[in-house]
């Protein structure tokens, strides 16, 4: 009861975003959940734009839900990544869900996290949260408790526990009153738009003068983001392929349980195609170059293309190999994936391996 009271108090601390703000971190959680379903391939940017709306509506149609806002019914249908919303609980190690994805998004934008946006509060996310807490002179306990939450809400203007998340395909425009000396060229430059767009929005003939005092509708333009496009973390960038569909296709082709493959890939990368670990593991399946060499030379006997499709083929082929050598025991196969086949045979599961194995097996029913 006390925890609920604390969280209820924190809701009152939420600082509403400015009227023209477009980034809503809660939307980033929605985008991550949609990516897990293979429906959202654009940048994880917290902007409720047309691509997010299209993904939401596609998901709603696939589940025969009313098409519109991402309300409670939609979030429930999204599964474990569909909730809880950020700010509705205290977050600790090994928590999983929408709110963890939002936290990872905020930590990434703050420059303290470079890992996967997978909604899982693992070791790397916890370490980044500690770094963030230190910058705010808070207790670095890797727990998103009341003080840390209120600091994040105030600093990043996160709407806490909204009832619905509106994803709109309509751009917001502004109005401008024509003054003496104005022309379409000057107005377009001043408002970062084009003469053609101005003429289209106001049904004007660009060859004719505009009347002083007339109110013109200025087409909406994207607000510049705080992070330059070239500097956007790989975790946030757009993706061009449906990773989930590729994982399922190779799983079926190579005879591996698709649910297990998806769980491994989500745990390793959050279905991110460009992520590179500190150890040099790359791509969706996070295979090391040495592992790829072994798979290509011994298991596949051909070079896999250096594409997302090739990355997944290598990863699934290696997972199939481990399942075979450990006679279908998923627990031992996953341990072999994490610490190496030889080490499992000689030493069993290392202490650090056991949480990874347990987490992947738990994820089988989640992604």
- Domain CATH code at residue 109: 1.10.101.10
* Residue 235 near residue 276 (C-beta atoms within 8 A): no
pLDDT of residue 83: 92
Does residue 256 carry a pLDDT above 90? yes
Task: Pick 58 or 199 by higher pLDDT.
Answer: 58
pLDDT of residue 129: 97
* Domain region containing 59: 2-156
197 exposure class (CB count in 10 Å sphere: 0-12, 13-18, 19+): middle
Tokens of 37: 């379903």
Residue 59 domain-assigned (yes or no):
yes
- If you search the block for the tokens 């959050």, which residue do you land on? 270
145 and 274 fall within a common domain = no
271 and 305 fall within a common domain = yes
Confidence band, pLDDT 50/70/90 cuts, at residue 44:
very high
89 and 28 fall within a common domain = yes
Residue 233 domain-assigned (yes or no):
no
Report which listed range, 20-29, 212-221, 262-271, is most confident. Answer: 262-271
Residue 74 domain-assigned (yes or no):
yes
The pLDDT tens digits of the residues spanning 126-176 come to 999 999 999 888 999 999 999 999 888 888 778 775 545 555 444 445 678
Tokens of 275: 């992520």
Render 43-107 in DSSP notation, one character per residue: ---SB--HHHHHHHHHHHHHTTPPSSSB-HHHHHHTGGGG-PPTTSS-B-TT-BSHHHHHHHHHH
The angle, 0 to 180 degrees and rounded to 10, between the axes of the packed helices 308-325 and 258-269 is: 120
- Span of 75-89, 268-282, 291-305 with lowest mean pLDDT: 268-282
* CATH number of the domain residue 295 falls in: 1.10.530.10
Task: Pick 199 or 81 by higher pLDDT.
Answer: 81
Does residue 26 carry a pLDDT above 70? yes
250 and 338 fall within a common domain = yes
Confidence band, pLDDT 50/70/90 cuts, at residue 187:
confident
Q: Domain ends where: 218, 233, 254?
A: 218
% of the chain beyond a pLDDT of 90 = 56
Residue 110 domain-assigned (yes or no):
yes
82 and 212 fall within a common domain = no
335 and 252 fall within a common domain = yes
Does residue 67 carry a pLDDT above 80? yes
pLDDT of residue 348: 94
99 and 203 fall within a common domain = no
* Residue 53 near residue 168 (C-beta atoms within 8 A): yes
What are the b/e assignments for 135-174, b being 16+ CB within 10 Å? Answer: eeeeebebbbbeebbbbbbeebbbbbbbeebebeeeeeee
17 and 66 fall within a common domain = yes
For the chain, how many structural domains are there in total? 3
Does residue 110 carry a pLDDT above 50? yes
Residue 169 domain-assigned (yes or no):
no
pLDDT of residue 167: 53
Render 121-181 in DSSP notation, one character per residue: --HHHHHHHHHHHHHTT---SS-B-HHHHHHHHHHHTPPPS-S-B----PPP-EEEE--TT
* CATH number of the domain residue 187 falls in: 3.10.350.10
- Span of 103-112, 134-143, 211-220 with lowest mean pLDDT: 211-220
Does residue 226 carry a pLDDT above 60? no
84 and 127 fall within a common domain = yes
The pLDDT tens digits of the residues spanning 281-332 come to 888 999 999 999 999 999 999 999 999 999 999 999 999 999 999 999 999 9
pTM of the model: 0.72
Q: How many CB atoms lie within 10 A of CB 355?
A: 14
184 and 281 fall within a common domain = no
pLDDT of residue 217: 84
20 and 141 fall within a common domain = yes
Report which listed range, 15-29, 107-121, 191-205, is most confident. Answer: 107-121
Residue 271 domain-assigned (yes or no):
yes
Residue 161 domain-assigned (yes or no):
no
Confidence band, pLDDT 50/70/90 cuts, at residue 18:
very low
Q: Domain ends where: 109, 127, 156?
A: 156
Residue 12 domain-assigned (yes or no):
yes
d(CA 319, CA 262): 11
The pLDDT tens digits of the residues spanning 343-362 come to 999 999 999 899 889 889 98
pLDDT of residue 105: 96
Phi first, then psi, for residue 215 (nearest 5°) are: -95, 120
182 and 266 fall within a common domain = no
């Amino acid at each position: 009861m006390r925890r609920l009271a604390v969280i209820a108090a924190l809701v009152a601390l939420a600082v509403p975003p400015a009227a023209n703000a477009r980034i809503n971190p809660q939307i980033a959680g929605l985008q991550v959940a949609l990516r897990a379903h293979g429906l959202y391939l654009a940048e994880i940017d917290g902007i409720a734009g047309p691509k997010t709306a299209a993904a939401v509506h596609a998901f709603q149609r696939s589940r025969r839900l009313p098409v519109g806002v991402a309300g409670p019914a939609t979030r429930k249908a999204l599964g474990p990544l569909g909730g809880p919303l950020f700010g509705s609980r205290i977050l600790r190690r090994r928590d999983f869900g929408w709110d963890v994805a939002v936290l990872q998004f905020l930590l990434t934008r703050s420059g303290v996290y470079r890992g996967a946006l997978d909604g899982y509060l693992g070791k790397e996310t916890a370490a980044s949260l500690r770094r963030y807490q230190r910058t705010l002179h808070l207790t670095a306990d890797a727990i998103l408790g009341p003080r840390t939450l209120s600091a994040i809400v105030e600093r990043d203007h996160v709407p806490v526990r909204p009832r619905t998340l509106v994803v709109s395909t309509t751009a917001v425009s502004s109005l401008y009153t024509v003054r003496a000396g104005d022309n379409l060229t000057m107005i377009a430059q001043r408002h970062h738009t084009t003469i053609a767009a101005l003429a289209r929005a106001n049904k004007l003939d660009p060859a004719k003068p505009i009347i002083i005092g007339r109110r013109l509708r200025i087409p909406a333009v994207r607000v510049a983001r705080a992070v330059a496009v070239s500097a956007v973390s790989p975790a946030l960038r757009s993706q061009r392929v449906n990773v989930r569909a590729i994982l399922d296709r190779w799983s079926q082709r190579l005879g591996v349980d698709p649910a297990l493959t998806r769980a491994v890939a989500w745990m390793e990368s959050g279905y991110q195609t460009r992520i590179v670990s500190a150890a040099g593991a790359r791509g969706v399946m996070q295979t090391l170059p040495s592992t790829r060499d072994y798979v290509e030379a011994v298991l596949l006997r051909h070079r896999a293309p250096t594409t997302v499709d090739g990355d997944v083929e290598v990863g699934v082929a290696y997972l199939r190999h481990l399942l075979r050598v450990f006679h279908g025991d998923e627990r031992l196969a996953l341990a072999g994936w994490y610490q190496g086949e030889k080490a499992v045979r000689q030493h069993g599961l290392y202490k650090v391996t056991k949480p990874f194995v347990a987490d992947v097996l738990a994820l089988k029913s989640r992604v």
